[in-house]
Amino acid sequence: MSLEHWAWLGIAAQPGSRIVDDILRVFPDPEEFFLSGDSGIEKVGIISGADALRIRATSLDVAKKAVETAYNYGAKVITKESEFYPKGLLSIETAPPVLYVLGDETCLNMEPAIGIVGTRRMSEYGNSMAKIIAGGLGSAGALVVSGMALGIDSAAHKACLSAGGKTVAVQGCGICKTFPEENIELKELIAANGAVISEFVPDAEPRSSFFPIRNRIVSGMSLGVCVIEAAARSGTSITANLAFKQGRKVFAVPADVNRPTSQGTFRLLRSGAIPVAGAKDILMEFGDEYTSHLSLDKILSPKAEKTSQKSERTEKPAKPIKKAPPAGLSKNASEIYRVLDRTPRSADEISDLTNLPSSAVAVGLTELELMGLISPVSGRRFVIA
């Protein structure tokens, strides 16, 4: 089976289209379908006139260019036949024929994989819960899957990375693009300790219509999806409903029902979503088959986590001895390195010392940790390695 023909099928049939399933039922080998021409289209039988015209008009050269572009960018291309293709996607409708992968493709089948989604306009409460849940999942050894959007998605990715976990970001654009653009550094960090994936051609610009399409991958890859803050009508609610349809467990974090960003989670709870307050609440819903290898003892209870965060904020950090950072660090990572020494410091202490926002501190700490320049210690504090 040709890799280019798998890529051709994804382009000719369009992402998220049911045509892919129809074609593969008749032609398990996309190359065979490509070579069959009009007779193959007739054999499948239920392809509309417009779809048939697009299939005929899509040349193999377009697919070859997509594969070449991905390789030149440093990404890999995996098909439904690959051992690295997420097994969870094989059981859903309209699974993508190919995935373009930047990073470690072996992590795509880590178990358990938990999707975390939520509003782009998160509250302080939502940000805190994303850190507690994603950080707990990461520290235990679970995979966190999200969409790298602003708000809850980004907070979840960063918290997982800061806890030393692996995370996968599913993009609503081509693998060579970044959306939102301000997440370029986060994208690089995820690719360095997890993977960024997309089913769209590598140079595809983000479109509003792409995000609902990519959501089925977030839910399909995951054993369960946790919703942290969602409006009544939103992409987050779409992902949760897809998870229900795909037979995945759906979790929701209870919040103030008077907030607009709590209406979606409230509806999910009424529809049968499981209320959770921490990572352990999620993981305990799965049997030993998925959790026996995890380090559940590393997960702080939500109460202990909040107490730890509060005590860290109220303690006045001692003034560190500043030092020159190594070459090659980002600006934020350099600032963080300057204020770290052998005294354990929390992210909030570092934020106070550097005047950097918590999101920038989380990304900077991850960069330093991945480079082996700092080490985490108890209480989610950090010291110079």
pLDDT band at 369 (very low <50, low <70, confident <90, very high): confident
**Radius of gyration, alpha carbons of the chain:** 22
Contact of 234 with 118, CB cutoff 8 Å: no
Written in H, E and C, the secondary structure of the chain is CCHHHHHHHHHHHCCCCCHHHHHHHHCCCHHHHHHHHHHHHHHHCCCCHHHHHHHHHCCHHHHHHHHHHHHHHCCEEEECCCCCCCHHHHHCCCCCCEEEEEECHHHHHCCCEEEEEECCCCCHHHHHHHHHHHHHHHHHCCEEEECCCCCHHHHHHHHHHHCCCEEEEECCCCCCCCCCHHHHHHHHHHHHCEEEEECCCCCCCCCCCHHHHHHHHHHHHCCEEEEECCCCCCHHHHHHHHHHHCCCEEEECCCCCCCHHHHHHHHHHHCCCEECCCHHHHHCCCCHHHHCCCCHHHCCCHHHHHHHHHHHHHCCCCCCCCCCCCCCCCHHHHHHHHHCCCCCEEHHHHHHHHCCCHHHHHHHHHHHHHCCCEEEECCCEEEEC
- Could you identify the residue written with the tokens 């070579």? 35
Above 80 in pLDDT, residue 24?
yes
| Torsion sign across C-alpha atoms 214, 267, 132, 121 | positive
The larger pLDDT score, comparing residue 114 to residue 368, is at 114
Decide if pLDDT at 76 tops 90. Answer: yes
Cα–Cα distance measured from residue 212 to residue 103, given in angstroms and rounded to the nearest whole number = 24
Domains of the chain: 1-67 (no CATH), 105-299 (3.40.50.450), 305-384 (1.10.10.10)
- Residue that wins the pLDDT comparison between 108 and 357: 108
Q: Higher confidence at residue 308 or residue 58? A: 58
What percent of the chain shows pLDDT beyond 90? Answer: 64
Banded model confidence at residue 305, pLDDT cuts 50, 70, 90:
low
pLDDT score for 257:
78
Each residue of 81-113: pLDDT tens digit?
Answer: 999 999 999 999 999 999 999 999 999 999 999
How high is the pLDDT of residue 313? Answer: 44
pLDDT at 310 over 80: no
d(CA 85, CA 107): 10
pLDDT at 1: 62
Q: How far apart are CA 252 and CA 285, in angstroms?
A: 13
* pLDDT, average across residues 270-299: 89
**What is the per-residue pLDDT for 143?**
97
Q: Is the pLDDT of residue 117 over 70?
A: yes
Residues 6+ apart with CB under 8 A from 223: 88, 111, 112, 113, 114, 248, 249, 286, 290
Exposed e or buried b for every residue in 319-337, given b needs 16+ CB within 10 A? ebeeeebeeebbebbbbbb
pLDDT for 323 equals: 60
Structure tokens at 239: 């992902």
* Alpha-carbon distances, residue 338 vs 17, 108, 118, 258, 365 (angstroms): 51, 35, 34, 43, 12
| Dihedral (CA of 196, 187, 133, 364) sign | positive
Where residue 362 falls among pLDDT bands split at 50, 70, 90?
confident
Q: What secondary structure, in 3-state letters, does 317-346 show? A: CCCCCCCCCCCCCCHHHHHHHHHCCCCCEE
Q: Provide CB contacts within 8 A for 270, sequence distance 6+.
A: none
| pLDDT value, residue 314 | 45
312: confidence class by pLDDT, cuts 50, 70, 90 = very low
Tokens of 331: 């600006």
pLDDT of 231 > 90? The answer is no
Average pLDDT, the chain: 89
Question: Confidence band (pLDDT; 50, 70, 90) for 303?
Answer: low
CA distance 73 to 100: 11
What is the reported pTM?
0.77
Q: Of all residues in the chain, what percent carry a pLDDT higher than 70?
A: 93
pLDDT score of 145: 98
| Beta carbons within 10 angstroms of residue 46's beta carbon | 10
Confidence of residue 25 (pLDDT cuts 50, 70, 90): very high
Q: Report, as an integer, the average pLDDT of 196-217.
A: 96
Task: Label residue 260 by pLDDT band (50, 70, 90).
Answer: confident
